[in-house]
């Protein structure tokens, strides 16, 4: 039976309070505009020195990227379906196991937390939730102490556990609820002409419960169609609805999920069928305030160009997916979607014929406005 995946676009939600020299109110909620999961976190306010620098000539300082490379890319805007498999499993809850002798918590006193990545057991990397259960229920000597490797941020923790037998299933458990994969819909940003590596979304895919970045071992990319949308209103972000078949047209493979999106390699024949001409990458020194365009798809599978204005550029010597503030000025897009909606994450930002960035967030209080990321921070992943 063919696996049908329908995604209502709503993942990785963020809330941020900003005050940027009158551009925004003191409390501005923003939401990452892609699909699948939902989380909320607090972001730090910009430091005063950065605001003063931006206001008094900071933009001139910004235009020094010292990147003289010429990179040609096929611009995106196409909706894609993503499936991801993890290295290890994400711990989403920790509980007790009901045994014949009562409730037992095998992780009691151990260095393990919700949001950790349970990476391996007895030296074997965990490939799925089912594999995890197999590893703690070996045919030989079940119930013996196991050694696990746990990843937390940049740390690698070694911990020992003794599984206990659950009375209902007669299998050994650790009392852990885990997640091993993710699927969703997002927007393609670019495909490099030289090696067909692609970047999409502009922000990471995070676990719905823990907010942690999903660790990807491999994944697949599929052709997708947008089948509808909900219009964004003030205080109520809109969303695109996408559909793809796991047994449908496979567009490429996925191998990385980080702070600036998901990455992998596109099939050359898929790109050739799109009939898209490559354009040059414009690094952050070429980005200017003023008119620009975004490429995105709000119906079917083919993107259209829509007018925007870049109203703010941030001075950034370190990478961040909030590099610029954009405003949708295209009356057609505003009338249909209200502006930026969830599902547009990764939509390419084109200025003077060059790819300079991608859409990443929408302001909940004003869906015509949002954040974009400089292409600099995406292109080398």
Residue tagged active-site, from 116, 120, 203, 323: 203
List the domains of the chain with CATH numbers.
Answer: 4-66+73-83+186-379 (2.40.10.120), 96-174 (2.30.42.10)
Distance in angstroms (rounded) separating the CA atoms of residues 106 and 161: 7
Q: Does 181 have pLDDT greater than 60? A: yes
Asked if 211 and 39 touch (Cβ cutoff 8 Å), the reply is yes
**Lowest model confidence (mean pLDDT) among 58-72, 84-98, 177-191, 274-288:** 58-72
Asked if 7 and 226 touch (Cβ cutoff 8 Å), the reply is no
Q: Which helix (H) or strand (E) holds 16?
A: strand 15-16
Q: What is the mean pLDDT of the chain?
A: 81
Task: Please indicate whether residue 345 is annotated as part of the active site.
Answer: yes
Asked if 275 and 74 touch (Cβ cutoff 8 Å), the reply is no
**pTM score, two decimals?**
0.75
Q: Can you give the pLDDT at residue 167?
A: 92
Nearest CA to 146 among 110, 180, 179? 110
Could you give phi then psi for residue 319, rounded to 5 degrees?
Answer: -65, 145
Q: Can you give the pLDDT at residue 331?
A: 96
Which tens digit of pLDDT belongs to each residue from 88-109? 888 989 999 999 999 999 999 9
Q: Does 366 have pLDDT greater than 80? A: yes
Q: Can you give the pLDDT at residue 32?
A: 59
- For 55, which DSSP code? I
Three-state DSSP class for 262? strand
Distance in angstroms (rounded) separating the CA atoms of residues 129 and 181: 9
Task: Please indicate whether residue 203 is annotated as part of the active site.
Answer: yes
- CA 251 to chain centroid, in Å, comes to 18
> Furthest-apart CA pair in the chain: how many Å?
71
DSSP string, 27-43: ---EEE-BSS-----EE
Question: Which residues, other chains included, contact 27 with Cβ-Cβ below 8 Å and sequence gap of 6+?
Answer: 17
- CA 124 to chain centroid, in Å, comes to 28
Residue tagged active-site, from 180, 345, 347, 366: 345
Which tens digit of pLDDT belongs to each residue from 29-80? 555 555 433 222 333 444 555 544 444 444 444 444 556 778 999 999 999 9
Residue tagged active-site, from 54, 180, 330, 376: 330
In angstroms, the Cα distances linking 281 to 47, 142, 173, 314, 373 are 30, 56, 51, 19, 13
Q: Does 28 have pLDDT greater than 50? A: no
Residues above pLDDT 70, as percent of the chain: 82
Task: Please indicate whether residue 131 is annotated as part of the active site.
Answer: no
Q: Does 13 have pLDDT greater than 80? A: no
Distance in angstroms (rounded) separating the CA atoms of residues 354 and 265: 22
Please list the residues that pair with 243 across neighbouring strands. Answer: 6, 225
176: left (phi over 0), alpha (psi -120 to 50) or beta: beta
Distance in angstroms (rounded) separating the CA atoms of residues 65 and 61: 10
- CA 100 to chain centroid, in Å, comes to 43
* Token pair in block for residue 188: 């393609």
Which tens digit of pLDDT belongs to each residue from 202-255? 888 887 777 778 878 888 999 999 998 889 888 888 888 888 877 777 899 999
In angstroms, the Cα distances linking 4 to 1, 76, 222, 262, 266 are 9, 24, 12, 22, 22
Distance in angstroms (rounded) separating the CA atoms of residues 34 and 155: 29
């Amino acid at each position: 039976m063919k696996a049908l995946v329908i995604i209502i676009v709503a993942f990785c939600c963020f809330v941020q309070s900003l005050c940027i020299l009158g551009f925004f109110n003191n409390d501005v909620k923003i939401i990452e505009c892609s699909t699948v999961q939902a989380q909320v976190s607090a972001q730090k306010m910009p430091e005063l020195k950065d605001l003063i620098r931006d206001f008094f000539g900071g933009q001139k300082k910004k235009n020094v990227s010292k990147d003289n490379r010429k990179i040609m890319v096929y611009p995106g805007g196409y909706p894609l379906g993503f499936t991801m498999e993890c290295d290890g499993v994400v711990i989403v809850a920790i509980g007790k196991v009901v045994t014949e002798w009562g409730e037992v918590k095998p992780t009691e006193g151990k260095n393990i937390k919700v949001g950790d990545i349970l990476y391996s057991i007895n030296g074997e990397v965990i490939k799925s939730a089912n594999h995890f259960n197999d590893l703690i229920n070996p045919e030989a000597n079940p119930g013996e102490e196991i050694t696990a490797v746990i990843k937390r941020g940049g740390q690698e923790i070694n911990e020992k556990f003794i599984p206990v037998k659950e009375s209902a299933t007669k299998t050994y458990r650790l009392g852990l609820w885990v997640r091993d994969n993710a699927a969703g819909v997002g927007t393609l940003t670019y495909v490099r002409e030289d090696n067909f590596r692609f970047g999409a979304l502009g922000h990471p895919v995070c676990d719905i419960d823990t907010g942690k970045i999903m660790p990807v071992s491999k994944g697949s990319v599929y052709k997708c169609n947008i089948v509808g949308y909900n219009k964004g209103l003030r205080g109520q972000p809109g969303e695109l609805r996408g559909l793809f078949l796991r047994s449908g047209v496979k567009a490429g493979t996925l191998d990385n999920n980080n702070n600036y999106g998901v990455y992998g390699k596109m099939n050359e024949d898929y790109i050739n069928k799109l009939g898209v001409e490559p354009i040059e990458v414009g690094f952050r020194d070429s980005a200017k305030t003023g008119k620009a365009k975004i490429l995105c798809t709000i119906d079917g599978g083919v993107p259209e160009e829509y007018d925007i204005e870049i109203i703010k550029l941030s001075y950034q010597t370190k990478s961040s997916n909030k590099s610029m503030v954009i405003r949708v000025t295209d009356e057609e897009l505003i009338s249909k979607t209200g502006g930026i909606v969830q599902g547009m994450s990764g939509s390419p930002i084109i200025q003077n014929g060059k790819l300079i960035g991608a859409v990443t967030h929408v302001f909940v209080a004003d869906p015509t406005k949002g954040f974009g990321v400089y292409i600099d921070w995406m292109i080398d992943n």
